[in-house]
Amino acid sequence: MQERTLAIIKPHAVSEGFTGKIIDEIIQNNFDILAIKKIQFKKEEAEKFYQIHKGKFFYDNLIKFMISGPCVVLVLSKENAVKNFRDLIGNTDPEKAKNKSIRHKFGLTNRENAVHGSDSLKNSKKEIAFFFSNADIINI
């Protein structure tokens, strides 16, 4: 089934100049980019986006990290986009992620792991709506 998923290129990957390389990986793996923008999370926005992780030991540092600089957010489309993108980015921990995965290539730590990808179709819909209105997304 053709699906949409949300990707975020995280602050360290943007500031280190990996945006183009990560977008190239996304395109080479046959995802269509339906929308893209550069954003700067405000603290309250990052807390809302990651509310599911509130209370976990890594939450406070995750919020600090996600507001530390600009991110690039993308709406991607492909057959089984949610699972296919999670496979492309790899394990949360870049050291455990497969060699060819984006997190293995561009991630540094569990937290600074280069990219976010929605973990379910339900969450992808919520996450896309968090950043984009329907009018922002090309309808192909």
Structure tokens at 29: 């793996």
Give me the least distance between CB of 135 and ligand CMP, in Å please: 26
Give me the least distance between CB of 30 and ligand CMP, in Å please: 21
Residue 73 burial (10 A CB sphere; 0-12, 13-18, 19+): buried
Are 88 and 67 a contacting pair, CB within 8 Å?
no
Active-site residue, selected from the candidate residues 12, 53, 104, 116: 116
Quick one: 5 or 113, whose CB is closer to ligand CMP? 113
Quick one: 42 or 53, whose CB is closer to ligand CMP? 53
Are 3 and 77 a contacting pair, CB within 8 Å?
yes
* CA-based max dimension of the chain: 40
Residue given tokens 């997304």 in the structure block = 137
Give me the least distance between CB of 113 and ligand CMP, in Å please: 5
Per CB under 6 A, residues contacting ligand CMP are 53, 58, 62, 92, 110-111, 113, 116
Dihedral sign (CA 120, 122, 126, 132): positive
Quick one: 53 or 138, whose CB is closer to ligand CMP? 53
Would you call 104 a catalytic residue per the annotation? no
Residues with active-site annotation: 116
